[in-house]
Amino acid sequence: MRLRRAIGWHRPDVLSVDCFDTLLLRGIESEEDRIRRLGFRIAASLEPRGIRVDPQAVASTRLAAARAEYRAAAREDREARHDTILGLQCLALGLDPSFAGPAAPLAEAEIEQETCDLRPNLPLAKLLREVRRRGTRVIVVSDMYLPATAILRLLENAGVAGDVDRVYSSSDHGATKRAGRLFDVVVKAEGVRADRMLHAGDCRLGDLEAPRRRGIAAVRLPRHHLTLARSMRRAGNLIVGEPAHV
């Protein structure tokens, strides 16, 4: 394994890994398709409360809210936040704003669906356990709108939370991996020199180029077959007139 060789070469004090498509794996389904399924899950969860909503309206408002929040985040040089996305969705659907809270129906439905959709990268998890037993600290660093507490729940549900010491999410710190500033946060919080850290993940910019610019050794763990499959699926969606995930 590429990462095992890098660990042997660098012998880091802190090993940092990406979460999604690295430690937790997704299939080829696009975000839009996942959100469409989520619309039905949320509609079903609200019905016992006497609230009837159209699943398609739930999905379309969730997508629109995410686009709006990501545009705002790009202007402000930060990561999008899940609570803001859900707050905008509640506003669009006419739901009580409290439904956007961390333990409220909308957020819980998303965690439930992510739990069903994600699977652990078992070979990587095994390597992380070995590394931790040898005394190296293992952390997860993710560019994600979900807070670290939610990501930790997903790791727990996948059975791999015990293989990491801490989770850092860009949405908690207002700084991203791809811009490099989240790595500055991590280095300071961990009390480690940049050259004593090794990072690994699937994204060329956020997981390879950005940490190297910060003096952090990095190795990319690409999933070429998945990238190709998702590209083919997006092309198919465009042909039939459906929105493609960007």
64-112 per-position pLDDT tens digit? 999 999 999 999 999 999 999 999 999 999 999 999 888 899 999 999 9
Same domain, 12 and 134: yes
Give the per-residue pLDDT at 226: 54
Give the per-residue pLDDT at 245: 33
Average pLDDT over residues 2-6: 95
Same domain, 62 and 155: no
Same domain, 219 and 124: yes
Give the per-residue pLDDT at 65: 98
Same domain, 104 and 44: yes
Same domain, 126 and 211: yes
Q: Give 50's pLDDT tier (boundaries 50, 70, 90).
A: very high
Please check whether residue 62 is in contact with residue 88, taking contact to mean a CB–CB distance below 8 angstroms. no
**Distance, CA of 155 to CA of 71 (rounded, Å):** 28
- The least confident of 60-64, 85-89, 229-233 is 229-233
Q: What is the pLDDT of residues 185-209, one digit of tens each?
A: 999 999 999 999 999 999 999 999 9
| Among 45, 79, 67, 46, residue whose Cα is nearest residue 177 | 79
Q: Is the pLDDT confidence value at 246 over 50?
A: no
Residues pairing with 24 in the sheet: 20, 120
**Distance, CA of 66 to CA of 85 (rounded, Å):** 5
Higher-confidence residue: 82 or 27?
82
Contact partners, residue 121, CB within 8 Å, separation at least 6: 22, 23, 24, 25
Same domain, 128 and 208: yes
DSSP-derived 3-state class of residue 76: coil
| Residue-number span of the structural domain to which 195 is assigned | 2-26+119-226
Give the per-residue pLDDT at 244: 36
**Distance, CA of 76 to CA of 175 (rounded, Å):** 10
Please check whether residue 7 is in contact with residue 198, taking contact to mean a CB–CB distance below 8 angstroms. yes
The answer to whether residue 172 is domain-embedded is yes
Average pLDDT over residues 40-69: 96
The residue assigned the tokens 């050259």 is 195
The answer to whether residue 139 is domain-embedded is yes
Same domain, 199 and 85: no
Same domain, 137 and 210: yes
CATH for 180: 3.40.50.1000
CA distances from 241 to 51, 68, 71, 234, 244 (A): 31, 22, 23, 10, 9
Q: Is the pLDDT confidence value at 225 over 90?
A: no
CA distances from 194 to 69, 169, 183, 205 (A): 31, 18, 9, 18
The CA angle 4-115-245, to the nearest 5 degrees, is 85
With 0.85 as the threshold, say if the pTM is over it: yes
| Mean pLDDT of the residues in the chain | 91
Same domain, 150 and 218: yes
